Copies of this chain bind each other. A is one copy, B any other.
Amino acid sequence: MTAIRIGIVGYGNLGRGVEIAVSLQEDMELVGVFTRRDPAAVDTVHERTPVHPMDALESMRGELDVLVLCGGSKTDLPEQTPVLAERFTVVDSFDTHARIPEHFAKVDAVARGAGTTAIISTGWDPGLFSINRVYGESILPAGSTYTFWGRGLSQGHSDALRRIDGVAAAVQYTIPSQEAIDRVRAGERPELTNRDKHTRECFVVLQDGADAEAVRQAIVTMPHYFEPFETSVTFLSAEELAQDHQSMPHGGFVIRSAESSPGTTQTIEYHLQEDSNPEFTASVVVAYARAAARMAAAGQHGAWTPFDVAPGLLSPKSPEQLRAELL
């Protein structure tokens, strides 16, 4: 079997995760990282990983099977995915839910025209969570689907804390409500708002001389971000923050609760518990890179999402092996 040759485009937390994830896949080979920064200034996880300037992509086209696009969804991917899909098989983890149809249409038009294959919005939400929402409502039409996020570090809420006067540094964890989960598991099918489903834990380092009580009030009354939620605020030292809050855990639950006939409850629960959100996301994206290589080889051109990818395409094993070993 010839190895699938992977290029990483963009090198932040996700790119680092992809570098590690590719090294665990026996049928893949990492060609290198492609960056807009000065390649000499990029410090990769593995010393052996080559780093190239972005404009080397064109000349290395014959050495690459799939590009894994690791830029952000706000400005990088809306621009990069369509441009690169013109000449490469690509996967991305575009995760701005509301703008997925628009992103899909742009990438699809380019990929169909160019005869390439692009899988967008891989990752866990969108991605694995989305798949489970589809399986759940397709199999059990008479019910409700619940998504809970966490326990996980929320980048957006941490940023909101850091903008408050008197805050030197901070992180925020989103915590799923155990009570709400228990009610869903029990088959109650309650109406739940985002607020009913989650609480928020803030860990805050104060600036010198800041008034702790004023900061706490500013946090718990902040509209949209914290006011609607049960929010706890813990003050700690910069050293404690550095020591205990550097990892980026995340995860959550997708639960389908439904009746197959009156009074007969069926529950499908999908639960992710991630020590590292970027490494987990990267692991998913890399498995979809394998599917993209196969779909490209099979002539399935255009844009696709995890909904269009059969589970077996993610595995390095042959269909025969999968049927014998895992069915």
User: Taking beta carbons and an 8 Å cutoff, which residues of A are in contact with B?
Assistant: 17, 20-21, 24-26, 97, 100-101, 104, 121, 126, 128, 130-131, 133-135, 137-142, 185, 260-261, 264-276, 279-280, 282-284, 286-287, 290, 305-312, 314-316, 319-320, 322-324, 326-327
Contacts and interface: CB of A to CB of B under 8 A. Distances in A.
B323 A134 contact: no
A261 to B, nearest CB: 5
A310 B270 CA distance: 18
Task: Give the number of copies in the complex.
Answer: 2
Contacts of A260: 17, 20-21, 24, 275-276, 279-280, 282-283
- Could you tell me the dominant secondary structure of chain A's interface residues? helix
Given A100-B327, A142-B24, A284-B139, A134 B314 contact: yes
B307 A322 contact: yes
Contacts of A282: 260
Contact of A267 (B126, B269, B273, B314): B273
A282 B141 CA distance: 13
Nearest to A142: B24
A142 B24 CA distance: 7
A26 B142 CA distance: 11
A119 B133 CA distance: 22
A163 to B, nearest CB: 30
Contacts of A269: 269-273
